[in-house]
Structure 1
Amino acid sequence: MGHAQISEQKYTVAEYLEMEEKSEIRHEFYDGEIFAMAGTTMNHNRIVGRIRGLFERRFLSDGCDVFAENIKVEAVKNFFYPYPDVVLTCSAEDRAGTYIVKHPSVLVEVLSKTSASYDRDFKLRMYQGIPSLQCYMLVSQNRFYVQLYTRTDQPDTWTYKVFNTPSDIIRFESLNFEIILSAIYENIIFIPDEEII
């Protein structure tokens, strides 16, 4: 899964949530198994911060919330609870919540060597099953490269677009929002030997 399994023991969701409240490190839950989350690079953290800021400037005034890295999402109830890098939710239920976002509109993952295939395959399939989700964005930390999956009017049909030129405009049509690709990478110095795409 791209993370270290911490035990062969199977946990219930209630046991996982109780453990997670007391833990100093984050763990993802998948079908009773718990996986410790790895640390990140500075570029990863910078990009997450840029994206969170762009979403906050646009959506906070609409009563939405934007979370980064430390808030889990209920991707599949009682089955899969990951920590996306950025989460946008405009749900009143989520705004009144404490630990878990259940109705995200946008999920973002910044790719790393250990998570790239996991984020592109497994998480994509799991996230596409979230009824509220409108967009899933994958972001390289080593070059100008963003992949965007967008739900269409047909709930099980998604479009896919790639953005790889600094002047490209990433459009979130259903949210009436757009980002210029270069804004995500502002002041980022790419590290070629860490290439993951």
Structure 2
Amino acid sequence: MGQAQISEKKYTFEEYLKMEEQGEIRHEYYDGEIFAMAGTTMNHNRIVGRIRSFLEGIFLPKGCDVFAENVKVEAIQNFYYPYPDVILTCAPEDISGTYIVRHPSILVEVLSKSSAGYDRDFKLRRYKGIASLQYYVLVSQNDCYVELYTRTDQEGIWIYQSFDSHDAVIPFDLLGFAMPVAKVYEGIVFVDEDGEK
């Protein structure tokens, strides 16, 4: 999801939270700067919905919860608060919370042309610092391509895998499930971001 800086003013974290609670437009927060979140394509929205629905089917019965697009995650306390496209958390304090997920297990970003570099580099480096995070998933909306980063037991070491076939299955062994790529792209007709098929 793209973003644009909306002000040269630096905001305290408390000012940012108050603005978010009172406003209708979502903003990411990074070191005092705020960035308005851009709209998305229909395929972006569909893919987010497919992933959220799949995860809810598995994790709601286990007492976990899944949020999409309008809930922020604490990537760096009082410093960086982005809005991932899908968040899975099983932490009771997140589930009973109001605005912020602090202990995600899975974060998903659906890529656009404008956000792909940001999601693969800037967000990846900061998301890796979230102690509870076990998986970071990047999903293309323009073709069949899913990237998976999996935390290992070794400090700072993550495993990277990619999946480019509808027949592939994405393993989430640390959480005891797998997600077929076909479920991610169910009913999706690929178009470029200008609407061309």
The TM-score bracket by the shorter chain reads over 0.9
Give the whole-Å Cα distance in 2 for the aligned partners of 1:51 and 1:39. 19
Q: 1:51 to 1:193 in 2, by over 3 A?
A: closer
In structure 1, the residue corresponding to 2:94 is in which secondary structure? Answer: helix
Give the whole-Å Cα distance in 1 for the aligned partners of 2:128 and 2:117. 16
1:26 Cα offset (Å): 0.6
Find the counterpart in structure 1 of residue 34 from structure 2. 34
Whichever residue aligns with residue 79 of structure 2, its letter is: F
Find the counterpart in structure 2 of residue 141 from structure 1. 141
In structure 1, the residue corresponding to 2:51 is in which secondary structure? Answer: helix
Count of residues in correspondence between the two structures = 195
Find the counterpart in structure 2 of residue 92 from structure 1. 92
Find the counterpart in structure 1 of residue 55 from structure 2. 55
Render the CA deviation track for 1:13-63: whole Å, top value 9, x for unaligned.
110000000111110000000000000000000000000000000000110
1:2 Cα offset (Å): 4.3
Give the whole-Å Cα distance in 2 for the aligned partners of 1:167 and 1:155. 32
Find the counterpart in structure 1 of residue 173 from structure 2. 173
Q: 1:81 to 1:193 in 2, by over 3 A?
A: closer
Q: 1:109 to 1:193 in 2, by over 3 A?
A: closer
| Structure 2 gap ranges (5+) | none
TM-score normalised per structure 1: 0.96
| Structure 1 gap ranges (5+) | none
The answer (yes or no) to whether the contact 2:41–2:193 under 8 Å persists in 1 is no
Q: 1:9 to 1:189 in 2, by over 3 A?
A: same
The answer (yes or no) to whether the contact 2:9–2:33 under 8 Å persists in 1 is yes
In structure 1, the residue corresponding to 2:87 is in which secondary structure? Answer: strand
Find the counterpart in structure 1 of residue 125 from structure 2. 125
TM-score normalised per structure 2: 0.96
Whichever residue aligns with residue 156 of structure 1, its letter is: G
CA-atom RMSD, angstroms? 1.3
The answer (yes or no) to whether the contact 1:142–1:194 under 8 Å persists in 2 is no
Give the whole-Å Cα distance in 2 for the aligned partners of 1:140 and 1:23. 30
Find the counterpart in structure 2 of residue 152 from structure 1. 152
Find the counterpart in structure 2 of residue 189 from structure 1. 189
Give the whole-Å Cα distance in 1 for the aligned partners of 2:150 and 2:61. 23
Render the CA deviation track for 1:131-175: whole Å, top value 9, x for unaligned.
000000000001110000000111311000000011101001100
In structure 1, the residue corresponding to 2:83 is in which secondary structure? Answer: coil
Whichever residue aligns with residue 189 of structure 1, its letter is: V
Give the whole-Å Cα distance in 2 for the aligned partners of 1:193 and 1:81. 26
